[in-house]
Amino acid sequence: MDKNKNITFLSHLLVWFVLFSMPYLLSYGQEQEIDRVIAHFWIPLVFSAVIFYFNYFVLIDRFLFTKKTIWFLVINISLIAFFIFLKETIESAFFQEFTRRKISENGEEIGPPFKMFIYVQMVSYMAPLLFSIAVKTTTRWVKTEAERKEAANFKLQSELQHLHYQLQPHFFFNSLNNIYAMVDISPDQAKTSIHSLSKLMRYMLYETNVEQVLLTKEIDFMKKYVDLMKLRVSDKTLVNYSFPVKETNIKIAPLLFISLIENAFKHGVSASKESLISINMTCKDKNVIFTIENDNYPKLTEDKSGSGIGLQNIVKRLELLYPQKHEFKTTLKADRFLVHLEIDTN
């Protein structure tokens, strides 16, 4: 902020330095009388600077932006009239030799009529006034736009944080339900599952509170979760998964895929029928392609486990995190549920 203020100050200083030097730059190599420059150029320029900065720092904010337009016009017209009068007084008192109007042979003054002279003076002082309005309006618009973007970004981060915190208890409760189902059947597996769940929760609590994580960490998390879920399914359920083996250096928003895997185990496993879950992830350049295919066993109406927020959560997060940079499709074909998610991480 201080750097921007310094740049603005120096740019204003440079502009006024160039303007004050203009008569000498335009008449380089010619005789230039300092009194004429002061009378015809520097005095009007000083008045123009006063009009510009008085409007820029005081009048525009106090009157124009608060819709007190009449007061704004009255003050500026009075100020310009005062400067025209003051300029004529100064020139008459100190620069008569250069400001005296020429007289023709028949005694008439040579030059534009007095009314035209006043009109030209008014117009010349209107330029810094209009310029100050334009600069101040632009500055205000830039500031307003920056504040709007900051507010939008804050809202986005808040919503993403809400979705993130929403996912954690959802994941935790569903995992506990699965472990609970194993306690009576296989206590040893239940103990192993609790230990695995603690590792998963440690990752969720302490390593995902960032905008992006390495894809390899997400893959390791998903593998551990799949291994945890395989403990509770019967031998009739076959789970295949394939993830990139090499380091990709790709970074991605955390916990995007876990809801899809969770959903596959929730709706793709039957206690009495053979079930197949296939999970596949590939990377091409900076694109991540993730697919899941599982049998479709619709959830019974009386089954109240879970909250149904998994897919809704991921759809919303994708819209916020990767707008126009993702493709998400779900299809049901021949009692097989297919999910295709492609994300451009560039």
**SS3 letters for the chain?**
CHHHHHHHHHHHHHHHHHHHHHHHHHCCCCCCCHHHHHHHHHHHHHHHHHHHHHHHHHHHHHHHCCCCHHHHHHHHHHHHHHHHHHHHHHHHHHCHHHHCCCECCCCCECCCCHHHHHHHHHHHHHHHHHHHHHHHHHHHHHHHHHHHHHHHHHHHHHHHHHHHHHHHHHHHHHHHHHHHHHHCCCHHHHHHHHHHHHHHHHHHHHCCCCCCEEHHHHHHHHHHHHHHHHCCCCCCEEEEEECCCCCCCCEECCCCCHHHHHHHHHHCCCCCCCEEEEEEEEEECCEEEEEEEEECCCCCCCCCCCCCCHHHHHHHHHHHHCCCCEEEEEEEECCEEEEEEEEECC
Residue 75: predicted pLDDT: 95
Average pLDDT along the chain: 80
Residue 9: predicted pLDDT: 74
- Whether residue 330 is predicted with pLDDT greater than 90 in this model: the reply is yes
Least confident segment among 83-87, 104-108, 117-121, 141-145: 104-108
Q: Which domains does the chain have, with CATH numbers?
A: 2-149 (no CATH), 153-344 (3.30.565.10)
Q: Give mean pLDDT, residues 89-112.
A: 58
Residue 301: predicted pLDDT: 52
pTM of the model: 0.55
Least confident segment among 19-28, 138-147, 224-233, 315-324: 19-28
- Whether residue 106 is predicted with pLDDT greater than 60 in this model: the reply is no
Residue 35: predicted pLDDT: 65
Residue 194: predicted pLDDT: 85
